[in-house]
């Protein structure tokens, strides 16, 4: 095919495309005449991105803290992006499912192995100073982290163990919300009083969370897995990928986070309290929480020993 023929063919395809959506092809071709050639910085929005790191103090290591949290939020976004595709996929099959779970796992592997950037990347003296300007905020208030949990498993697996028997599929979402495991970080169970950390978080996100919980109630990763034909649910590679994801999110990442927190909070230079005010040691350790997205994929013994000996 010579050039003219080739151009004619493209014009014909463009005409078909624009006719379908009631548009004049020539207007769009004129638009091309005046459009700006793309550059890396316009496309990636580097100027906008690099202007989002605003310190509250003059301490240089606060920049590490801000940038690393932002990197985490970007990766959380990519994780939700992949999970959403599984949630919405028509005619879901094992290959697609496994491929997406592996993508999500790689992101979490990266977040886990990079946590040393937090643990070793800031001077303790600096951290112990700038953290005073952050109270009562905490990474606890990362909405995307909570959304990853809602999108991964059935709600019952995110309910505080003490209340699981009182909650089933007919329980209103509002009630389930009040008994999510993470309420324990900010609620005094004797008085029911919520901490400022939790009050602020709910004021901003509760409505969004309830809607998200409803949406993912039937299309979270576990529900979609159970929709696969029985033999596909036995697929060794898929089961391995699901277990890897569960273990990485709920043990490896949690432990990397716990160790970083311990490194600073227990450094002996502060009051040993978390900025969000939780009973952090007990709250954060996986052996107490036993958060598990896919309990049916683990043996009795593995469930019992969840988060032990690590
Ligand atoms: C030096 C670094 C860090 C320290 C000392 C730290 C400390 C803590 C503490 C003590 C909590 C418990 C809630 C509270 O009372 O504040 C918490 C929760 C949390 N943090 Fe961090 N954190 C650090 C870095 C990060 C990073 C980089 C992320 C990534 C976004 C993050 C995400 C979270 C999340 C999602 C929770 C809630 C976890 C749960 O509910 O189990 N943290 N953090």
Kindly give, in sequence order, each residue whose CB lies less than 8 Å from that of residue 179, ignoring residues fewer than 6 positions away.
159, 160, 163, 166, 167
Return the domain boundaries, the chain: 3-35, 67-304
More confident residue, 268 or 43: 43
Q: Which of 261, 262, 282, 289 to mutate to test the pocket of ligand 1 (most atoms within 8 A of CB)?
A: 261
CA of 138 to the centre of ligand 1 (A): 6
Atom of ligand 1 nearest to the CA of 265: 5
The CATH topology of domain 67-304 is Methane Monooxygenase Hydroxylase; Chain G, domain 1 (1.20.58)
Minimum-distance ligand 1 atom for the alpha carbon of 182: 40
Which protein residue's CA is at the shortest distance from atom 43 of ligand 1? 139
pLDDT of residue 105: 95
Rounded distance, CA 263 to CA 130, Å? Answer: 16
Going from the Cα of 172 to the center of ligand 1, the distance in angstroms, rounded, reads 29
Residue with tokens 């809602």: 150
Locate all alpha helices (DSSP H) within 21-130, ordered by sequence.
25-34, 40-44, 46-49, 62-88, 94-113, 116-120, 124-130
- Please give the number of the atom of ligand 1 that sits closest to the Cα of 181: 40
pTM: 0.94
* Token pair 């995110």 in the structure block, residue: 158
pLDDT given for residue 189 in this prediction: 75
Mutation to probe ligand 1, out of 137, 138, 264, 272 (largest number of atoms < 8 A from CB): 138
Residue nearest to atom 4 of ligand 1 (CA): 261
Give the pLDDT score at 54.
Answer: 98
Q: What are phi and psi of 269, to 5 degrees?
A: -105, -5
What's the length of the chain?
310
* Per-residue DSSP letter, 187: B
- pLDDT of 108 higher than 80: yes
Question: Could you report the per-residue pLDDT of 74-102, keeping only the tens digit for each?
Answer: 999 999 999 999 999 999 999 999 999 99
């Amino acid at each position: 095919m010579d050039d003219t023929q080739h151009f004619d063919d493209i014009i014909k395809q463009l005409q078909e495309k624009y006719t379908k959506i009631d548009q004049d092809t020539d207007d769009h071709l004129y638009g091309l005449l005046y459009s700006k050639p793309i550059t890396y910085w316009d496309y990636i929005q580097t100027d906008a991105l690099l202007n989002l790191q605003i310190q509250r103090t003059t301490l240089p290591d606060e920049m590490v803290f801000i940038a690393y949290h932002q990197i985490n939020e970007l990766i959380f976004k990519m994780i939700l992006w992949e999970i959403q595709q599984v949630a919405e996929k028509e005619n879901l099959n094992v290959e697609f499912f496994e491929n997406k779970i592996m993508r999500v796992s790689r992101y979490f592997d990266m977040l886990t192995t990079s946590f040393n950037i937090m643990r070793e990347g800031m001077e303790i003296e600096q951290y112990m100073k700038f953290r005073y300007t952050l109270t009562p905020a905490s990474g606890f208030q990362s909405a995307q982290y909570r959304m990853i949990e809602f999108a991964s498993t059935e709600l019952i697996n995110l309910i505080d163990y003490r209340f699981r028997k009182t909650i089933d599929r007919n329980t209103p979402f509002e009630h389930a919300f009040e008994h999510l495991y993470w309420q324990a970080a900010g609620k005094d169970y004797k008085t029911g009083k919520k901490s400022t950390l939790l009050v602020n978080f709910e004021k901003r996100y509760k409505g969004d969370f309830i809607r998200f919980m409803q949406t993912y109630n039937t299309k979270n990763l576990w529900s979609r897995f159970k929709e696969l034909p029985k033999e596909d649910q036995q697929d060794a590679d898929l089961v391995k990928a699901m277990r890897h994801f569960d273990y990485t999110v709920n043990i490896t990442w949690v432990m990397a986070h716990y160790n970083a927190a311990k490194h600073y909070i227990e450094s002996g230079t502060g009051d040993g309290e978390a900025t969000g005010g939780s009973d952090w040691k007990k709250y954060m350790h996986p052996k107490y929480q036993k958060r598990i997205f896919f309990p049916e994929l683990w043996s009795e013994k593995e469930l019992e020993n969840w988060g032990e000996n690590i």
